Chain A
Amino acid sequence: MSAEVRVWDPLVRVAHWTLVTGIVASWITGELESERARHAHEWIGYAVLAVIALRMVWGWTGTHYARFSEFVRGPAHTFAYARSVAALSEPRYLGHNPLGGWMVVALLAMATAAGLSGWLSVTDRFWGVKWVQELHEALANTLYALVGLHVAGVIYTSVRHRENLVRAMFTGRKRAT
């Protein structure tokens, strides 16, 4: 067994699984039609926004692999990586690979937009306003589609590099080479 290194710090891991739980819970409570589910849905939304805010701050101030500057690459690097994926010759990254990094950004942005539009929909000003309700649903559905893509990418990359990336998000450790 080759050496393992610490990649994902505790805040990254806790934030990740809290967001997984919150987004799944918001989906379930969004589908259920009851006063209690509505109430829960609203508060889950605020909690998700708070966790995202924390994760964003950590993205500028946190440990090496937690930082946006570590995993958000420019277009040239990202497209080169995408071509290498298509050619089945993509390199392994210890942190997020370039496509995974952009997925993190997309997920955080979409969850923020979905959360804020939900918040808007329960203000006096925008209560019952059709376009706000429809925008919230569209953003949430886009978020769920991105989650599906994210999971597919994680499984694919795990298979390609023969490592369990889901486990790594629990333990924080990855094979060094």
Chain B
Amino acid sequence: MKSIYFFAAAALFAINAQATGLATCESGNRDGWQTEEKLTAVLKEKGWQVRRIKEDGGCYEVYALNEKGERVEAYFHPRTLAPVPTGAKGHKG
């Protein structure tokens, strides 16, 4: 039975610690954001096949196959469209 309490505690901890994604961006209000279409076009230019773009932690989160055909989940700053390293918090672009 002890293991059940352990799991309950671990689970609660996990939910509390639940973060805002793999990275966060200081991206201010949306007026200054570049569009998802622009980001898609930029990445296409690089040879990426963009599958899905979401907003996460103030960044654009992109699911894609990169130019080598590898699966990537990458973050970009909505103002600069610069890549944001995963693990970065409050990235300023």
Contact = CB atoms under 8 A, between A and B. Distances in A.
Interface range on chain B: under 10, 10 to 19, 20 to 34, or 35 or more?
20 to 34
Contacts, number: 46
A122 B65 CA distance: 11
Q: Is the interface of B mostly helix, strand, loop or mixed?
A: mixed
Interface stretch (A5-13, A27-35, A96-104): A27-35
B20 interface: yes
B22 A32 contact: no
B88 to A, nearest CB: 12
Interface range on chain A: under 10, 10 to 19, 20 to 34, or 35 or more?
10 to 19
Interface in B8-65: 10-11, 14-15, 17-22, 51-52, 63-65
Contact of B10 (A28, A128, A130): A28
A32 B11 contact: no
B71 interface: yes
A124 B72 CA distance: 10
B59 to A, nearest CB: 12
A117 to B, nearest CB: 16
Interface in A109-129: 122, 124, 127-129
Contacts of A129: 51-52
Interface in A12-56: 21, 24, 27-28, 31-35
A16 B51 CA distance: 37
Nearest to B14: A28
B86 interface: yes
A129 B18 CA distance: 23
Contact of A24 (B7, B15, B69, B71): B7
A145 interface: no
13 contacts: A27-B14, A31-B15, A31-B18, A32-B14, A32-B19, A33-B18, A33-B21, A33-B22, A34-B87, A35-B87, A124-B71, A127-B65, A128-B64
